[in-house]
Structure 1
Amino acid sequence: MQEKNTLNADANKSLTVIMIISTFGGLLFGYDTGVINGALPYMSAPDQLNLTPSTEGFVVAGLLFGAALGSVIIGQLSDYIGRRKTILYLAVLFFAATVGCTLSRNAGIMIIGRFFLGIAVGGASVTVPTYLAEMSLTEKRGRMVTQNEWMIVIGQFTAFICNAVLGHYFGDTGHVWRYMLIIAALPAIFLFIGMLKMPESPRWLINNGKISEALGVLKKIRCSSAEAVGELESIKNAIATENHIRKISWRELTTPWVRRVVFIGIGVAAASQATGVNTIMFYGTQILKTSGFSTEAALIANTLNGLIAVIAVGVGMFLVGKVKRVPMFLIGLSGTTSVMACLALVSKYMSGDPHLPYVVLALTVTFLAFMQGCIAPVFWLLLAEFFPLQLRGLGMGVCVFFVWIVNFLIGLFFPILLNLIGLFFTFAIFVIIGLFSIFFVKNYVPETKGKSLEEIELAFRSGRYR
Structure 2
Amino acid sequence: MYSLFGSLLTVGAMIGAITSGPMADYIGRKGAMRFSSTFCVAGWLAIYFAEGYWALDIGRLATGYGMGALSFVVPLMVATGVSAAFIMGTVLRWRVLALTGLIPCLILHVGLFLIPESPRWLAKKGREKESETTLQKLRGRDADISYEAIEIKDYIQTLESLPKAKLLELFQRRNLRSVVIGVGLMVLQQFGGINAVCFYASSIFEVAGFSPTVGTIIYAILQVVVVFLNTTIIDKVGRKPLLLVSASGLVISCLITGLSFYLKVHELALKSVPMLAVTGILVRLQVFSSYITANMD
1:65 aligns with 2:65: no
Match 1:161 to one of 84, 87, 100: 87
Q: CA deviation at 1:202?
A: 0.9
Match 2:157 to one of 233, 240, 261: 240
- 1:53-74, Cα deviation, whole Å (9 max, x unpaired): xx22211111111111111112
Aligned to 1:318: 232
Aligned mates of 1:366, 1:252 — CA distance in 2: 40
Aligned to 1:365: 282
Aligned to 1:49: none
Query: Structure 1 261/248 Cα, relative in aligned 2: closer, same or farther at 3 Å?
Result: farther
- Aligned residue for 1:369, secondary structure, equals helix
Q: CA deviation at 1:231?
A: 1.1
Query: Structure 1 288/159 Cα, relative in aligned 2: closer, same or farther at 3 Å?
Result: same
State the AA in 2 paired with 1:336: L
Across the aligned residues of Structure 1 and Structure 2, the Cα RMSD in angstroms comes to 1.9
Aligned to 1:252: 169
Aligned mates of 2:208, 2:163 — CA distance in 1: 55
Q: CA deviation at 1:201?
A: 0.8
Aligned mates of 1:315, 1:277 — CA distance in 2: 20
Aligned to 1:305: 219
Query: Structure 1 300/181 Cα, relative in aligned 2: closer, same or farther at 3 Å?
Result: farther
Aligned to 2:37: 91
Aligned to 2:55: 109
Aligned to 2:125: 208
Query: Structure 1 365/82 Cα, relative in aligned 2: closer, same or farther at 3 Å?
Result: same
Higher relative contact order (CA 8 A, sep 6+): 1
Q: Is the 8 A contact 1:202 1:217 kept in 2?
A: yes
1:228 aligns with 2:142: no
- 1:167-211, Cα deviation, whole Å (9 max, x unpaired): xxxxxxxxx322222221111111111111111111111111121
- Aligned residue for 2:163, secondary structure, equals coil
Q: Is the 8 A contact 1:275 1:333 kept in 2?
A: no
- Aligned residue for 2:112, secondary structure, equals helix
- 1:61-90, Cα deviation, whole Å (9 max, x unpaired): 111111111111122111111111221222
Match 2:254 to one of 332, 340, 344: 340
Aligned to 2:109: 192
Aligned to 1:76: 22
State the AA in 1 paired with 2:285: L
Q: CA deviation at 1:350?
A: 4.3
Say how many residue pairs are matched.
294
Aligned mates of 1:318, 1:245 — CA distance in 2: 38
Report the identity percentage.
26
State the TM-score, normalizing by the size of structure 2.
0.91
Aligned to 2:206: 289
Aligned mates of 2:239, 2:105 — CA distance in 1: 35
Structure 1 unaligned segments of length 5 or more: list them. 1-54, 130-147, 167-175, 382-466
Aligned mates of 1:118, 1:347 — CA distance in 2: 31
Structure 2 unaligned segments of length 5 or more: list them. none
Q: Is the 8 A contact 1:161 1:300 kept in 2?
A: no
Q: Is the 8 A contact 2:256 2:279 kept in 1?
A: no
State the AA in 2 paired with 1:322: K
Q: Is the 8 A contact 2:263 2:273 kept in 1?
A: no
Aligned mates of 2:96, 2:228 — CA distance in 1: 30
Aligned mates of 1:105, 1:224 — CA distance in 2: 53
Aligned to 2:292: 376
State the AA in 1 paired with 2:156: I
State the AA in 1 paired with 2:199: F
Aligned mates of 1:300, 1:325 — CA distance in 2: 32
Runs of 4+ that moved beyond 4 A: 223-226
Aligned mates of 2:70, 2:246 — CA distance in 1: 26
State the AA in 2 paired with 1:282: F
Q: CA deviation at 1:261?
A: 2.6
- Aligned residue for 2:237, secondary structure, equals coil
Q: Is the 8 A contact 1:272 1:379 kept in 2?
A: no
Query: Structure 1 313/254 Cα, relative in aligned 2: closer, same or farther at 3 Å?
Result: closer
Q: CA deviation at 1:226?
A: 5.0
